Structure 1
Amino acid sequence: MSYQSNFDNFNEWITGLFPDQKEYLQATRELARDVIDIFNAHEPYKKNDVLRRLSMPERIIHFSVPWLNDQGNVEINQGWRIQHNGMIGPYKGGLRFHPTVNESILKFLAFEQCFKNALTGLPIGGAKGGADFNPKGRSDQEIMRFCQAFMTELQRHIGPYTDVPAGDINVGSREIGYLYGQYRRINNRFGGAITGKDISFGGSHVRTEATGFGLIYMLQAVLKEHHENIADMRIGISGAGNVALHAALKAIEHGACVISLSNSRGCLIVDKGLTTADINWAIDNKAHKDNILTALAERVQGQWHDGKTPWQEKMDIALPCATQNELDGEAAKTLLQNKVKYVLEGANMPCTDKARQEFDRSEIPFVPGKASNAGGVAISGLEMSQNASFRRGSYTSIDETLEDIMHNIHQQCVDEGRENNRINYARGANIAGFRRLADAMVLQGI
């Protein structure tokens, strides 16, 4: 007997199972709302109940991480790995170390990762993981010991053909090095069990830049579709990490006027626009400054606003690149009142559901993170391939491949999201990713 569904009974089912997991519920509801008609129109999808099955993680691994701090005292953190769906390849997704990490956040990230990875066209499934460990204020030795303790447990659940983690918030090249070193020591094996490695031991060119560069390649494709050009566009960017800084760098290189960056403490506004030299300075110095944006404000004579976000400023393009649900419905209304023309997510679900609804009602192009944020995992997939073949591509060739992948994702969104005289990029991305995963699920059986 096939399973017939509508959005309301799907929502009742998923909410009944996980009533307190707001991020996870937001992600699954947004997907279901866009694909429910596709699901009901295909008998094999209904017969195999693919919508509900795709909404449930295949495996949740939860473990404790005891480790010694510099005073010789035992500290205990919680660690997770959510292996959400492996239908089209080994599980793939980042590790996040942050005190706000919990099961709901990691489940939503893993869920989104499945559809993001499917859009790349690469044979990789979706996962996410991390710990409630806060590296801020910790010594390098403490971070190393924590990473080693975390990997001692995680290593039994991952591998090149099983699950390949990467970095995420607070897990950069230093942490990846410590994690991979512990994996290699325990398993006595050198291979592609982790991506984001340093170029000296199996890493890929362009990996640090990939998500930010990929965001701008997607933006250029969207602008071309709408017969516009990035040159002289006013772009507001939130965040001050790799994604935000490299998106700013690439946008400025193509003639855009980038007016903002932000972090948890506030935002920097530079009305005349930041320069390539400004962004390169921030990239080179961010590890050595308590607040790189206040230091940058002094350097460029910009305006620093404590506790504020960039979304009150006038801009043609908004690129939220910080964290989930940072741009809410009121901020969306302000952007629309100020005549914003395009919104592309550079982070994972940085727009709330109310913000997305505001953009949808206005019919401006809005591109969700599962499409516009896919550059990082695309290059991670290429790093896996390079590790398997013991060959490394050049910077230029990998950057060109990244651009091709982002343009292909854009075309999938256009093909599935065209509605009369507009393109609904969010719906297009959800449907395209859903079709690939649902087809694999049908073909592999229950």
Structure 2
Amino acid sequence: MDLSKKEFIESIKNRNIGETEFLQAVSEVAETIIPYVKENPKYRNTKILERIAEPERVIIFRVPWLNDKGEVEVNRGFRVQMNSSIGPYKGGLRFHKSVNLSVLKFLAFEQIFKNSLTGLPMGAGKGGSDFDPKGKSDNEVMKFCQSFMTELYRHVGADIDIPAGDIGVGNREIGYLFGQYKRIKGEFTGVLTGKGSEWGGSQIRPEATGYGLIYFVEEILKLKKESLKHKKIVISGAGNVAQFAAEKCIELGAQVLTMSDSDGYIYDAEGITIEKLNFIKKLKNQNRGRIQEYANEYNCAFVEGKKPWEIACDIALPNATQNELNEADAKVLVKNGCYCIAEGANMPCTPEAIAVFNQNKVFYAPGKAANAGGVAVSGLEMSQNSLRYTWSREKVDKKLKGIMKDIHKVCVKYGKEENGFINYEKGANIGGFVKIAEAMLAQGLV
């Protein structure tokens, strides 16, 4: 690669005007990949990173639907098919008002490295809509999902592109989407993952991202000859990933102190127990309530309009959304003794925050490695669908734990520095890149 990091990033910026999230994701990867490419002659003069940063295909479409008042509403749908060098496109659908092309390209780009790290034959994609299910009736969500799939169906398939869930797309939405695909195509195939266990889904798929995150943290702690027992954990978010990360932490003897939503965070100094966590699950998954109700129920602190990074902890798990943890937050965490940050969300730490962690030799596990458990079990669901068979909960959990251990090994292999410190960001980027680059070079000019 003849371009310098600065020249490469500038060229990406000029080709993707205004796409700040996508530029941030590519820039972060370029920091470690470009030096590696220059050190390895076979990757030079192939423009391999330029090709990886360019989607193979972007689909944008109109989604008209009828609300409960009988009024026509129109949203925009997307599918970014990023890279198919090691398998069919694989990645979630996000339904949220913040969804735009930049956000989905950043997520699809991250997905390339994440899927590569799992060791499973999955390419990378991402999609969704600026539709927000929050506050909508089941009937409205169904009508939107049916309209969305009426266009999307022609671009996906069990051997082409297999979407899954993401923010705003849970079991309800996956059910409506799958039902419409089956209705149109007349096929019962593994076109979507995250399905219900009664109709082709995998055991522990809902738990997979949160559980996998904690399995990765366990591997980090083993380097210090430590375990999660009695560790103080600060978690942001209160959705699927946060809930099951908290569940696994509690199971392993850690003390979970916080959870949050867009209104603020709760701080339970006594620790969130399984009983209390079940209250949160019901509150969020069934009642669609706000996290403040937990504070009212259990008489603990609720801090309005803030994130939980000011609470002293051993381990911080940002599980909410991108760029939720900034430089100032990082400095407070380090000052208060936090020595491990593992991302359950995608790109929740800003570049400035990551720099603070690296400068202070704090273990920082990027989402493309630490939260890969979700897509890993999606890949296992694809395998089960192909076999027309369902594995037990214990078997899937064992496979998930093995995959997270293997991802950790790859990160250590490529991220170990001369002073012995493990730069997980560098390790995940290079480890994911090598497999993709080798596949693309072997397949010619793709």
The amino acid across from 1:211 in the alignment is: T
The amino acid across from 2:244 in the alignment is: H
1:425 equivalenced with 2:403 (yes/no): no
1:77 equivalenced with 2:75 (yes/no): yes
In the alignment, what sits opposite 2:157? Answer: 159
Cα deviation, 1:14-37, whole Å, max 9, x if unaligned, reads: 111123111000000000101112
CA distance in 2, matches of 1:42, 1:49: 13
Contiguous gaps of at least 5 residues in structure 1: none
For 1:17-96, list aligned pairs within 5 A.
17-96=15-94
For 1:74-223, list aligned pairs within 5 A.
74-223=72-221
In the alignment, what sits opposite 2:296? Answer: 298
The amino acid across from 1:436 in the alignment is: K
TM-score (norm: length of structure 2): 0.98
- Does the 8 A contact of 1:95 with 1:171 survive in 2? yes
1:351 equivalenced with 2:367 (yes/no): no
CA distance in 2, matches of 1:377, 1:106: 16
SS in 2 for 1:64: strand
Shift in alpha-carbon separation, 1:288–1:388, aligned structure 2, 3 A: closer
For 1:386-405, list aligned pairs within 5 A.
386-405=384-403
For 1:280-359, list aligned pairs within 5 A.
280-359=278-357
Cα deviation, 1:322-362, whole Å, max 9, x if unaligned, reads: 00000011111111111111000010000011111111111
The amino acid across from 2:228 in the alignment is: I
SS in 2 for 1:236: strand
- Does the 8 A contact of 1:282 with 1:292 survive in 2? no
Cα deviation, 1:263-283, whole Å, max 9, x if unaligned, reads: 111001011211111112322
CA distance in 2, matches of 1:105, 1:48: 27
Answer with 292-301 or 196-205: which moved more: 292-301
CA distance in 1, matches of 2:49, 2:157: 28
Cα deviation, 1:206-242, whole Å, max 9, x if unaligned, reads: 0000000000000000000122211111000000001
- Does the 8 A contact of 1:289 with 1:295 survive in 2? no
In the alignment, what sits opposite 1:444? Answer: 443
In the alignment, what sits opposite 2:361? Answer: 363
Deviation at 1:441, TM superposition (A): 0.8
Contiguous gaps of at least 5 residues in structure 2: none
RMSD: 1.0
CA distance in 2, matches of 1:330, 1:38: 30
Deviation at 1:292, TM superposition (A): 4.2
Deviation at 1:290, TM superposition (A): 4.6
In the alignment, what sits opposite 2:372? Answer: 374
TM-score (norm: length of structure 1): 0.98
CA distance in 1, matches of 2:233, 2:285: 25
Question: Which 4+ runs in 1 deviate beyond 6 A?
Answer: none
Q: 2:406 aligns with which of 405, 408, 427?
A: 408
CA distance in 1, matches of 2:374, 2:133: 22
- Does the 8 A contact of 1:80 with 1:103 survive in 2? yes
In the alignment, what sits opposite 1:236? Answer: 234
* % identity of equivalent residues: 50
The amino acid across from 2:191 in the alignment is: A
The amino acid across from 1:360 in the alignment is: N
